[in-house]
A = this chain, B = another copy of it.
Amino acid sequence: MTGDELDDEIAALLQRADQRYTKGRRALVAALRAAGQPVTILQILDAADGLAQSSVYRNLAALEEAGVVTRVITNDEFARYELAERLTEHHHHLICSMCGDVFDFSLGARTEASLDKALHRVADDAGFTVEAHRLDLVGTCPRCD
**Is A78 an interface residue, CB under 8 A from the partner?**
no
30 A-B pairs with C-beta separation under 8 A: A71-B75, A73-B74, A94-B122, A94-B126, A96-B128, A105-B122, A107-B118, A108-B118, A111-B114, A114-B114, A115-B115, A119-B137, A122-B137, A126-B142, A127-B145, A128-B137, A128-B139, A128-B142, A129-B139, A129-B140, A130-B138, A131-B140, A132-B138, A132-B139, A133-B136, A133-B137, A133-B138, A134-B137, A134-B138, A135-B135
Across the two chains, which residue of chain B brings its CB closest to A130?
B139
Query: Interface residues of A, CB < 8 Å — how many?
Result: 36
Binding site for B on A (CB under 8 A): 71, 73-75, 94, 96-97, 103, 105, 107-108, 111, 114-115, 118-119, 122-123, 126-142, 145
